[in-house]
Structure 1
Amino acid sequence: MNRRTILATTTALLGLALQPALAADVPEGTELADDQTFSYRLLDQFPTLDPQLNEETAGSHVLRQIMEGLMTQDAQGNLRPGVATGYEASEGNTVYTFTLRDDARWSNGDPVTAQDFVYAWRRAADPETASPYAWYVELTGMKNAGAIVAGEMDPSELGVEAVDDHTLKVTLDRPLPYFPAMTTYATLFPVHQETVEQYGSDWTAPENYVGNGAYKLAELSLNEYFKLVKNPEYWDADNVVIEEVEGLIINDSSQALTRYEAGEFDLLEPLPAGSYPRLKEQRPDEAISVPRLCSYYYQINQREGAKEELKDPRVRKALSLAVDRDVIVDQILQGGQLPAYNFVHEATAGFEMPELDYAQMTQAERDAKAKELLEEAGVEDLDLKLIYNTDESHKQIATVLSQMWKQKLGITTTLENMEWSTYLDVRKAGNFDVARSAWCGDYNEASTFLDILMTDQEQNDGKWSNAEYDELMKASKTSDDPAADYRQAEQILAEDTGIIPIYHYSNTFLLDPQIKGFPLQNVENNWYVKDFYRVKAD
């Protein structure tokens, strides 16, 4: 394996350090199984495997296997080399120069070059691409990104340059010490320009796909399964142990558990709501619960044309106060999740949890305040439509939520369940009053949560808008104390009730004990199958 000297370390802000670019680390004397395969369950079909068009978790998991960015992560969430062997940062953290390995190749044998990253990043920012994650490029602080995303400047003006085939220079318009960590997300993965331009939207079909990851896309059957095979062109292929990966799309959580117990696949996440205590007792070596950098919340529609009552912060606050979060985490989920009164997950690096008044109340006090606010707002009769995507736990939470609102506030809620892609379209179109939402950090820093609730952000489907919040988050980009800005932003969010936080995730799952190398200390839940291996059964 080609090992290089690391040129720099990341900032202590994230508590990360670059680690050697190891693939599967198999202890000496380990008896490997003859069958080196790995399989897992997906709740929903991912809409795309185009890195610049991807916007959700299921697609991100697959893209990490078939594509590779400048940097990746190890089992603890530390940065480690990917296509880049390392980087140098300017004194002010506004210019980053990445050195690319000379043995990185695409699955068709072409070399991976700095220009592949330039093309992909410009493509992500280009309005013609219509990337749902164009805002992410803007958040990186790359020079001119904002103007390009707004259609005011040509993508060629983006602050990224191929100095030569193996040197990528990135210029930012503001200091951003955690920029290298942001390159681990799929939006900033490279793409093979010739393939994209030759096949257009069909370039992601298995027969056309050209990737640079440890695996290749071999088969894809919509809403059923996909299959990956080891990529012999991958620069570290000799150290990749798992030969084949299969993903099974199973919407029904109970059915998924039954099929796991029948030995059909190796990893089941998440577990059915409320099942973790029983499964931990029955399968102590397989049932696992660890923190995960995600927050579960509800968006409230505040668009033009939305219900006038929901534009009143007193009504929104009443809805939030009436939610007994302890009931949801202790009686429904039962997997180590924590009740959420703020948006940013408590495990986020460098984040200090804010002291919010309503979080200090008893539930009885919150209920009384909710009734008082609703009466003050003059609301006597309110019917709401709440949407969620297909999953038993989402259904259970929505059902309990609607019961709480009915019993405590007299509000009637109609629940609408829909499959994933339809749900995304409906939510983006604003055809809801309340919408189930969740956000998993794209990098381990509080802005990954708080930025998405700014007025003009793509993920702000409820269109909550607060000028003070927006200005504070913009100022945090150049602030000497962004942590203080984040705490203040959370105070504004809670006071205005831009969203209704419900709980902070833990990752509950079942994992076949024969599979080794799975990361248990990476709160972002970013796993790479190239690190896994299967041992012989006991």
Structure 2
Amino acid sequence: MMKSRNKRMMMILAMFIAVMVGLAACSGEESTTSQPSNTSNTGNDNNSDEVSGDEQVLNLTAGEPTALNPGQANYSQDQLITNNIQEGLMRKGLDGATLEYGLAESYEVDGFTYTFKIKEDVIWSNGDPITAHDFEFAWKEAMDPRNASPYSWLFELIALENAAELAYMEVPEDESEAETNIQAAKDAVGIKALDDTTLQVTLTRQHPAFLELTAFPTFFPVNQAFYEQVGGLDGYATEADTMLYSGPFAISEWSHDEKIVLVKNDKYWDKDAVKLDKIVFSDVADENTQVQLYSSNGVDAIRVPNDYVDQYKDSEEATQYARIQTWWFVLNMEADGVEGEFLRNEKFREAMAIGVNREELVNVAFGGLHVPGTGLIPPGLAGATPDQDYRSANPEHTDFLAYDFERAQQLLEEAKAEVGQDLPTLGLSIYERQSKEAQYLQEQYRKLGVNLEITVTDSKIRKSLFNSRDYHIIYAGWFADYDEPSTYLDLFSSTSGFPKNGFAMDEYDALLEQTQNTTDKEEKYKLYAEMESLVLSNFSFIPMSHDGFYSLQKSYVKDVAVHSTGPSRTYKWAYISGK
């Protein structure tokens, strides 16, 4: 099954991009007829390159993480680093797609119950054994409603038995009552450590991405005794020495807002496959500085800024990638003041949606690397049939976003009349690397009659803005966590905690429940299309583009596993040769 999944995804991405390492796609029912490999694939069997005899050091850039606790890791840099210092039951292999065994050595399926056997020789970085109890604790901690995990809804998504009752529980004000009720809910959840090496996971239905998600950070283990020793949620994984490591690397130095240094984890079960001695992630936000560092061999790989694409796209060190990601404007319908009145006005939101020419946007701002944002779900995600991805099968949803400047002007005037006031300047929060497209959009909306004031924010500030609802518009994005449309569509349920802009719709929740209760794949995908239409027609999430970019990587850097969904890269097999 897994081989056919990879082939289908690779076919889709090959059409979408010139060079890409694909991710396994979903082809229907779960099957245990094809088991993952339990042997690490170093990828060097037929490789004439020799690992350099010098210290193996890889120099990269990454922003300051917002969280490295697996249950709290949310932003791309969080997941990138967590994926390389921790490990789940499964791991994606060197090809970026194929599932291999991680800390598990096998699994069996009986109906909706999965029984995983944990490798007996796996240990934490402090020498403690990694056990099934560590997985049970971590999953339940991520579902604990007091912890506000950004991915607690994933456990309901995979249909983990009684997960919703825990994750969405209304917490009593009395702490003693809350502890009693939450513990009872945890005891009822369908994950049990039967002994130190046996983990039983009970679902209420099959979800095609379940096994893939066991390689996702939210599903990584946590050592309960150490977690509690360093202060639990408030203390765990806040410094290099307040976490234990189960993956290929461990953090040796964490200078906040400056750099994170990873070193080879000598306690890792597959340490012989790890060739790098050290990875240095420097926090360099300025794109010009990143390019200068790459040119002077200060760093070994960067994402090419849009302004430098023409200069570097023909380089032998450049590779073009398609990240399965959608960039969108998030309009805050809970904003205060006159600004909030406009943002709650549907005519205004529709004017924002149809008042920008996406074809021109991707050509001017991205040099054609991105593709126009034709829906919430980007190209490349699994469709109802193996020969067609979801986006190709549902082109009609582009109608909601078709460029119509005159209609947008008319809607804007009608919105002003309904609100009864002139439209004030609205704030637009962006990342630094979004400056070029944001300036283009600012000018296009100015022509429409909408003035946007741009503010550059980092991930931590953006997270605070979302949580406080203290923003007007945020230029945000979401990359697929797994290869199935629900990786996007489950975000918009009233229980997910994701929208953070006032979006909630009973009709949408009802459709979502139908998708969870149907086993007919064709019917499920029809419901997906209806759900996407509901969100698009609300115009509070306005897709702009789907991701595409060039990466520069020094020729002496070998065997970096690239993933098109979930954490972006794995360095377990990477090495330096010929530097």
The TM-score normalised by the length of structure 2 is: 0.85
**Does the 8 A contact of 1:105 with 1:235 survive in 2?**
yes
Unpaired stretches in structure 1, ≥5 consecutive residues: 1-8
Which of 541, 547, 559 in structure 2 is aligned with 1:505? 547
Which moved further from structure 2: 112-121 or 204-213? 204-213
Matches within 5 A, 1:232-381: 232-269=266-303, 271-281=304-314, 284-303=315-334, 305=336, 307-334=340-367, 336-350=369-383, 351-353=389-391, 354-356=394-396, 358-359=398-399, 363=403, 366-379=404-417, 381=422
Aligned to 1:140: 158
Identify if the C-alpha distance between structure 1 residues 157 and 347 changes in structure 2 by more than 3 Å, giving closer, same or farther.
same
Instruction: Name the CA distance, whole Å, in 1 between partners of 2:499 and 2:401.
Output: 28
Say whether 1:398 aligns with 2:438.
yes
Shift of 1:414: 2.0
Say which SS state the counterpart of residue 274 (structure 1) adopts.
Answer: helix
Shift of 1:520: 4.8
Aligned-partner residue type, residue 466 of structure 1: M
Aligned to 1:220: 254
Aligned-partner residue type, residue 95 of structure 1: T
Aligned to 1:6: none
Say which SS state the counterpart of residue 292 (structure 1) adopts.
Answer: coil
**Does the 8 A contact of 1:293 with 1:524 survive in 2?**
no
**Does the 8 A contact of 2:143 with 2:167 survive in 1?**
yes
Aligned to 2:464: 425
Aligned to 2:195: 164
Which moved further from structure 2: 291-300 or 138-147? 138-147
Aligned to 2:176: none
**Does the 8 A contact of 1:32 with 1:533 survive in 2?**
yes
Say which SS state the counterpart of residue 365 (structure 2) adopts.
Answer: helix
- Residue deviations 1:428-466 (CA, integer Å, cap 9, x gap): 211112111111111111111111122332221212122
Which of 355, 370, 385 in structure 1 is aligned with 2:426? 385
Which of 480, 498, 501 in structure 2 is aligned with 1:459? 498
Instruction: Name the CA distance, whole Å, in 2 between partners of 1:381 and 1:360.
Output: 26
Say which SS state the counterpart of residue 203 (structure 1) adopts.
Answer: coil
Aligned to 1:4: none
Aligned-partner residue type, residue 114 of structure 1: A
Q: Work out the number of aligned pairs and report it.
A: 519
Aligned-partner residue type, residue 12 of structure 1: S
Instruction: Name the CA distance, whole Å, in 2 between partners of 1:518 and 1:335.
Output: 26
Say which SS state the counterpart of residue 383 (structure 1) adopts.
Answer: coil
Aligned to 2:536: 494
Aligned to 1:471: 510
Identify if the C-alpha distance between structure 1 residues 260 and 235 changes in structure 2 by more than 3 Å, giving closer, same or farther.
same
Shift of 1:275: 1.9
Percent identity, aligned pairs only?
Answer: 25
Aligned-partner residue type, residue 512 of structure 2: M
- Residue deviations 1:477-514 (CA, integer Å, cap 9, x gap): 12223211111212222222231101111242111111
Aligned to 2:98: 78
Instruction: Name the CA distance, whole Å, in 2 between partners of 1:132 and 1:357.
Output: 28
Identify if the C-alpha distance between structure 1 residues 301 and 185 changes in structure 2 by more than 3 Å, giving closer, same or farther.
same
Identify if the C-alpha distance between structure 1 residues 78 and 313 changes in structure 2 by more than 3 Å, giving closer, same or farther.
farther
Which moved further from structure 2: 455-464 or 319-328? 455-464
Say which SS state the counterpart of residue 530 (structure 1) adopts.
Answer: coil
Aligned to 2:16: none
Identify if the C-alpha distance between structure 1 residues 168 and 358 changes in structure 2 by more than 3 Å, giving closer, same or farther.
closer
The TM-score normalised by the length of structure 1 is: 0.91
Identify if the C-alpha distance between structure 1 residues 90 and 399 changes in structure 2 by more than 3 Å, giving closer, same or farther.
same
Aligned to 2:487: 448
Identify if the C-alpha distance between structure 1 residues 345 and 10 changes in structure 2 by more than 3 Å, giving closer, same or farther.
closer
Aligned to 1:124: 142
**Does the 8 A contact of 1:516 with 1:533 survive in 2?**
yes
Unpaired stretches in structure 2, ≥5 consecutive residues: 1-23, 171-181, 384-388
Instruction: Name the CA distance, whole Å, in 2 between partners of 1:463 and 1:87.
Output: 41
Aligned to 1:37: 57
Shift of 1:521: 6.5
Instruction: Name the CA distance, whole Å, in 2 between partners of 1:400 and 1:241.
Output: 44
Which of 174, 181, 192 in structure 1 is aligned with 2:212? 181
- Residue deviations 1:58-86 (CA, integer Å, cap 9, x gap): 01111111110011112241211111123
Which of 56, 66, 69 in structure 2 is aligned with 1:47? 66
Shift of 1:386: 2.8
Identify if the C-alpha distance between structure 1 residues 73 and 471 changes in structure 2 by more than 3 Å, giving closer, same or farther.
same
Aligned to 1:106: 124
Instruction: Name the CA distance, whole Å, in 1 between partners of 2:91 and 2:29.
Output: 15
Instruction: Name the CA distance, whole Å, in 2 between partners of 1:498 and 1:472.
Output: 19
Instruction: Name the CA distance, whole Å, in 2 between partners of 1:169 and 1:115.
Output: 11
Shift of 1:525: 5.6
Instruction: Name the CA distance, whole Å, in 2 between partners of 1:373 and 1:320.
Output: 11
Structure with the higher fraction of residues in helix conformation? 2
Identify if the C-alpha distance between structure 1 residues 433 and 102 changes in structure 2 by more than 3 Å, giving closer, same or farther.
same
**Does the 8 A contact of 1:293 with 1:345 survive in 2?**
yes
Shift of 1:237: 0.6
Shift of 1:24: 2.6
Instruction: Name the CA distance, whole Å, in 1 between partners of 2:464 and 2:202.
Output: 35
Shift of 1:99: 1.8
**Does the 8 A contact of 2:376 with 2:488 survive in 1?**
yes
Instruction: Name the CA distance, whole Å, in 2 between partners of 1:395 and 1:186.
Output: 30
Shift of 1:121: 0.6
Which moved further from structure 2: 208-217 or 414-423? 414-423
